[in-house]
Amino acid sequence: MEYIIRIVNLKKRFGQKEVLKGVNLNIVRGKTTVILGLSGGGKSTILKHIVRLLVPDSGEVWVEDVNMATADEETVFRMRKKIGYLFQSGALFDSMNVYENVAFPLREHTKLKEPQIRAKVEEKLRLVGLNPAEVLTLYPDELSGGMRKRVGLARSTALDPGIVLYDEPTSGLDPITSDLITRLIKKTQENLGATSVLISHDIKESFKAGDYFAFLYDGRIIEYGDKEQFKNSQNPYVRQFLEGRSEGPIKVVR
Ligand SMILES: Nc1ncnc2c1ncn2[C@@H]1O[C@H](COP(=O)(O)OP(=O)(O)OP(=O)(O)O)[C@@H](O)[C@H]1O
Ligand SMILES: [Mg+2]
């Protein structure tokens, strides 16, 4: 088993709140790993450390042979080119239309000429089920939530990165579009041998997409396994989560 990302004893607090208390997680190259856990538990915080949008209080975040926690800026820039990131919010540039948004990483990281950029942008939009002719000139505030998410997805995969981090790619989408996106994640992984890290609250979609599953609870990964192992986990916290019960060892404060 070859690991492309290795997170070692990652700790992070925000003020008084200790969010990550020692996360250990290895991501298998060429496969999809799903991180599940409660809302507010720190899943997005883990992803942000992988691209060094956050610096850990302690611990290591290895991507290939680079520790992102301590790498210099030039190395971070070089590594980010290999990592696509679909932000939970979509995070499009409001002042740019759809075309400019999807073209942005191509302009930033490649020397492609305009016709090639245009072809790539259109291809990526079609893959996420959007019609280029209809959406290219629209601005983010003219898109529905689900369209914004899909434009974000087109942008995060524009460079055909070897690693893609998907933070809730299907939230807010109808079940059919969700299935399209899940298939796209699968296809990207299979065709390009890409590694995916997927955060999702949609258990059904994550079981369609995922090869390996990690459960984050109370600042640590408390369960990890392949699909069969995870589905059959006897960990009471995992069971409660998978069965969607508010009664159990996990107390949700209201
Ligand atoms: N930059 C920040 N400054 C202060 N607190 C933060 C920051 N980023 C995250 N947090 C806090 O860290 C905790 C974990 O947030 P995070 O977004 O990682 O959770 P999550 O598991 O992704 O939740 P969700 O499933 O709702 O997206 C939350 O309590 C959040 O308020
Ligand atoms: Mg999140």
Instruction: For 117-138, write each residue's pLDDT tens digit.
Output: 999 999 999 988 899 999 999 9
Atom 26 (ligand 1) nearest CA? 39
Euclidean distance between CA atoms 217 and 237, whole angstroms: 8
pLDDT score, position 139: 95
> Cβ–Cβ contacts within 10 Å for residue 214, how many?
25
pLDDT score, position 38: 92
Same structural domain, 65 and 187: yes
Q: Is residue 225 part of a domain?
A: yes
Q: Which of 126, 144, 160 is the last residue of a domain?
A: 160
pLDDT band at 5 (very low <50, low <70, confident <90, very high): very high
For residue 163, pLDDT over 80 is answered with yes
Same structural domain, 229 and 253: yes
Query: What total number of domains does the chain contain?
Result: 2
Same structural domain, 253 and 176: yes
Same structural domain, 67 and 166: yes
Residue 207 is encoded by which pair of tokens?
């079981």
Q: Is residue 88 part of a domain?
A: no
Same structural domain, 18 and 129: no
Which residues span the domain enclosing 120? 96-160
Q: Is residue 90 part of a domain?
A: no
User: pLDDT (tens digit, 9 = 90+) per residue, 40-91?
Assistant: 999 999 999 999 999 999 999 999 999 999 999 999 999 998 999 888 766 7
CA 23 to ligand 1 centroid distance, Å: 15
Same structural domain, 105 and 185: no
Q: How far is CA 146 from the centre of its chain?
A: 16
Provide the whole-model pTM: 0.92
CA 199 to ligand 2 centroid distance, Å: 8
Atom 28 (ligand 1) nearest CA? 40
Q: Is residue 25 part of a domain?
A: yes
E-assigned strands of 188-253? 195-199, 212-217, 220-226
Q: Which of 139, 160, 181 is the last residue of a domain?
A: 160
